[in-house]
Amino acid sequence: MRVAVAEDVVLLREGIARVLRDGGFDVAVSVGDAEALLQAVDRSPVDVAIIDIRMPPTHTDEGLIAAETLLARTPPMPVVVLSQAVEPAHAVRLLGDGRGGIGYLLKERVAAVDDLLEAVQRVARGGTAIDPAVVAALVARRREHDPLAELTPREREVLALMAEGRSNRAIAATLVIGDKTVETHVASIFSKLGLEEAPDDHRRVLAVLTWLRHA
């Protein structure tokens, strides 16, 4: 699987590339800014791009804009965005109207090698990967008459994994429970939160994240 890495800190860029190579990816593009990334993937298309949000020249949201550019292409190019701060707003902004092929990870997640590889693979296949820290922050958010209070501890775990972008099967594997049990939990969660079942996993992520942010 061909991967592009856009990260302005050389040390980190090389580190990420090494982790990816070790994980069996083909790091076809390795650049230091968004402009170079867009040019490189034009010449040599990749299956997924890993992009740091803050890059030269302004060190603000160059990476986010580049990610949106890639997502808007036909077909959309899957992207994993690396953020230095926990900002659910960024995740929701990327998810747009519920498209897949999107990852939003904290930068330090690259050190959790297995998680990183798993997330990149999921996104490359059109799935969604939201950093657990982002989800945790949203779940912890205080709400008036918090409907989350009605969830069982197990349901909360399922909700968090759903928000991270995992499929029912992945959730079942993570929690070591049966697929059917996960489906039951999901149905119960949606009913308690007053949400409609989403047709696919990434729309489900968007629905859950939006609910978590605004409820």
Partner 1 sequence: MLSDGRRRLVLAAIGIVALVFGPFAAYQLTRTAERSPALLLADVAVGWSMIAAGLIIADRRPGNRIGPLAILTGFAWFLGDFTNSDVAVVSYLATVFHGWFDPLFALVILAYPTGRITRRLDRALAIGFVAVQAAWTLVQAYGLRPIAWWDCPTCISTVDRWTAAYTAMDPLGRIETLLLTGLSVGLLVVVTARWVSASGAARSRQTPVLLAGLVLGGSFIVTFLWQTVLPTNAREPLGELRVIVLALSRVLVAIALMIGVLRDDAAKGRIADLVVRLDGLPPLPVLQASLRDALGDPSLEVYRWKSESGAFTDAAGQLATPPADGAARAVLAIGTADAPELLIAHDPALRDDPGLVSAAAAAVRLAVENERLQAEVRAQLDAVTASRARIVEAQDDERRRIERDLHDGAQQRLVSLQLSLQMLRRDLGPEADPAAVAELEAASAEAAAAIADIRELARGVHPAILTESGLGAALGSLADRAPLPVVLTDDLDRRLPGSVEATAYFVAAEALTNAIKHSGASRIDLRTWLADDHLHLDVSDDGRGGADATDGTGLTGIHDRVAALGGTVRVESRVGEGTRLMVALPCASP
Question: Residues in the site for partner 1, rule: CB under 8 A?
Answer: 9, 11-12, 15-16, 18-19, 22, 53-54, 59-61, 64, 84-90, 93, 107-108, 110-113, 137-138, 141-144, 213
- Work out how close the CB of 79 gets to partner 1 at its nearest, in angstroms, rounded to a whole number: 16
- Work out how close the CB of 11 gets to partner 1 at its nearest, in angstroms, rounded to a whole number: 5
- Work out how close the CB of 167 gets to partner 1 at its nearest, in angstroms, rounded to a whole number: 26
- Work out how close the CB of 133 gets to partner 1 at its nearest, in angstroms, rounded to a whole number: 8
Q: What is the residue whose two structure tokens read 């998680």?
A: 115
What is the rounded distance in angstroms from the CA atom of residue 180 to the CA atom of residue 74? 36
Q: How many CA atoms lie within 13 A of 146 on its CB side?
A: 12
- CA angle at residue 190 from 184 to 194, to 5 degrees? 150
Taking the least distance from each CB to partner 1, the nearer of 61 and 201 is 61
Cβ atoms of residues 202 and 102 within 8 Å? yes
What is the rounded distance in angstroms from the CA atom of residue 135 to the CA atom of residue 50? 20
Nearest to 86 by CA among 103, 102, 105, 67: 105
Taking the least distance from each CB to partner 1, the nearer of 85 and 187 is 85
Taking the least distance from each CB to partner 1, the nearer of 70 and 172 is 70
- Work out how close the CB of 106 gets to partner 1 at its nearest, in angstroms, rounded to a whole number: 8
- CA angle at residue 155 from 190 to 90, to 5 degrees? 70
Q: Which residues of 98-136 are buried (b: 16+ CB within 10 A; e: fewer)?
A: bbbbbbbbbbebbeeeebbbebbbbbbebbbbbbbebbe
- Work out how close the CB of 172 gets to partner 1 at its nearest, in angstroms, rounded to a whole number: 27
